[in-house]
Structure 1
Amino acid sequence: MNAVASSSGTQNGSSGKKSKTNVEMEEADQVVNKNKRHRKDKPWDTDDIDHWHIEPMPQPDPLSHKPFLEESSFALLFPKYREPYLRSVWSSITTALQSHGLACELDLVQGKMTVKTTRKTWDPYIVFKGRDLLKLLARGVNAPQALKVLQDDIACDVIKIGGLVRNKERFVKRRQRLVGPNGSTLKAIELLTECYVLVQGNTVSAMGTFKGLKEVRRIVIDCMNNIHPIYRIKELMIKRELAKDPKLVNENWDRFLPKFQRRHLKTSEKTAKKNAVLEKKAQAQQAAAENPNAIPLPPVPTTAAKKKTYTPFPPPQQPSKLDLQMASGEYFLKPKEREVIEKRKREERQAAKAEERRATREEAFIPPPEHVEASVAEKKMKKKKRKLEEE
């Protein structure tokens, strides 16, 4: 009996294990994404909840308020040229921070600004807002505009663009694209993203909502990667119009957005494209040669450079700057004499350039040649001369 019972027990246990493994396999088949396998249903998280809504935090009653256990502080450095402006507006900044329960210090010796909590501080996150305020002031934002970052619905983002482009001239040109002619591109970005944007030095400072700051960062980084801001501006304009249509609010907008292709081709792609054009022209000329009545095509212009003759010898070494100075005798002059000569050359170049500019300015004031008709007496004299010449 015991043997039978044990055997039946093992059979039931094995069948139970098999059923468990089958259930686990079915559950594993249902879960597609591994990142979401530990997620659980949240019945309290319904669609009518606005996750972007920020709950206000009013000032508590002074009697019931309890101070923080420890003091939090942030210190930031500021450039030397911002010192006069910060000294002039520091009183207003101190007053604004005191209304939120924060204290601030301006150290002109070390070039440092400090913000810290006090016993009156009730909002634990306001010290981060104060840090952002000092960061914006150091980056050139005016005090009235920078003080808006203390509001709950406004955040800031300082985008570092100095290390995104290696070439200095290319960096300056791409940074100028963000501003545009007379600041038109920057104004369009501010209107579409509802953010304040300031381009200065190696950073771009932005203030606004979280969604707007995300778009601004995308536009700035794409511009530094040689994608013109006008493409992103056009995309934002289309999205704004689509958001107004209630039928398209919850649909995918990819079919409405423009697809921009890069015009810059690789060297291999350019060569392949050029070979395809040449092959097409050759086929057309061959077909024309087979048909005598066809109109002959003009020859295809070739842009190939002339074949250079190979020489195993390197090119002759060019004289250096010191060699030229020794040949002209300038190298043996005293430093003062050399400065006098350089100053004289510089003045001559400046005088020639000034004369050229003056001539171009005075061209607009030169009157055109006037055509004056000859008088009656002059006409008679001309007739007499003609008669005398004929005789």
Structure 2
Amino acid sequence: MQAIRVPQDRVGVLVGKDGETKTMFEEKTHTTLKISGGVVEVTGDPVDEYVALAAVHAVARGFNPKKALKLLDDNFCLVLVDLKDFASTPKSIRRLKGRVIGERGRTRKYIERSTGTYVCVYGKTVGIIGPFEAVEAAKHAVNLLLSGAQHATAYRELDMNQ
């Protein structure tokens, strides 16, 4: 059995309407999820537990459950970039989130389309789900943006990696 903390506002997403999402997670990962007070306990075969824990972690970091279940594929991985590594004040963290998301979500969508990944900005993290090589390219672009590079520079780097 392994446990992970989930923010209270994400517990409802993990459970789903009438427990549908939780049941779907349990069926697809061959594990049992016990949710109480923001703590999710995963029970099952150790390999299945590991995969289920990664998917639950993705939901906790803002991904929708269908995208989180992509982690069941052995080629997919989850990478989190901590915004606190690039900024210290709440105002600067909000600014950095805006840089990654872009105007009307354009930058986030460009990163997703260019790399074939899913990008989610939630709380003080940027989460990326996708094939390993694509995740590395997306992470590089996100790190460029968070380090203050111009958007055009990040886009050019993404285009060169395609």
TM-score by length of 1: 0.38
Count of residues in Structure 1 that have an aligned counterpart in Structure 2: 161
Q: Say if 2:137 is the partner of 1:210.
A: no
**Structure 1, residues 267-297: CA drift from partner, whole Å, max 9, x if none?**
xxxxxxxxxxxxxxxxxxxxxxxxxxxxxxx
Larger RCO: Structure 1 or Structure 2 (Cα < 8 Å, ≥ 6 residues apart)? Answer: 2
1:125 shift after superposition: 3.1
Q: Which structure 1 residue ranges, 4+ long, deviate > 6 Å from structure 2? A: none
The structure carrying a bigger strand percent of its residues is 2
8 Å Cα contact 2:13/2:64 also seen in 1: no
Matches within 5 A, 1:1-391: 73-89=1-17, 90-107=19-36, 110-117=37-44, 121=45, 125-240=47-162
* Alpha carbons of structure 1 residues 94 and 215: separation in structure 2 relative to 1, 3 Å: same
Q: Which runs of 5+ in 1 are unaligned?
A: 1-72, 241-391
Q: Identity rate of aligned residues, in percent? A: 22
1:179 shift after superposition: 1.0
Q: Which runs of 5+ in 2 are unaligned?
A: none
1:77 shift after superposition: 1.1
**Structure 1, residues 105-139: CA drift from partner, whole Å, max 9, x if none?**
111xx32111121xxx4xx5332211111111112
**Structure 1, residues 202-259: CA drift from partner, whole Å, max 9, x if none?**
011111011111122222222222123431221221343xxxxxxxxxxxxxxxxxxx
State the alpha-carbon separation in 1 of the partners of residues 160 and 26 from structure 2: 40
State the alpha-carbon separation in 2 of the partners of residues 100 and 168 from structure 1: 37
> What is the Cα-based RMSD across aligned positions, in Å?
2.0
**1:165 match: secondary structure:** coil
State the alpha-carbon separation in 2 of the partners of residues 138 and 233 from structure 1: 28
State the alpha-carbon separation in 1 of the partners of residues 147 and 24 from structure 2: 42
Task: Name which one, 1 or 2, has greater alpha-carbon Rg.
Answer: 1
TM-score by length of 2: 0.86
Paired position in structure 2 for 1:287: none
The structure carrying a bigger helix percent of its residues is 2
**2:16 match: secondary structure:** helix
**1:162 match: secondary structure:** helix
**Structure 1, residues 276-320: CA drift from partner, whole Å, max 9, x if none?**
xxxxxxxxxxxxxxxxxxxxxxxxxxxxxxxxxxxxxxxxxxxxx
1:85 shift after superposition: 3.0
1:99 shift after superposition: 4.1
8 Å Cα contact 2:129/2:135 also seen in 1: yes
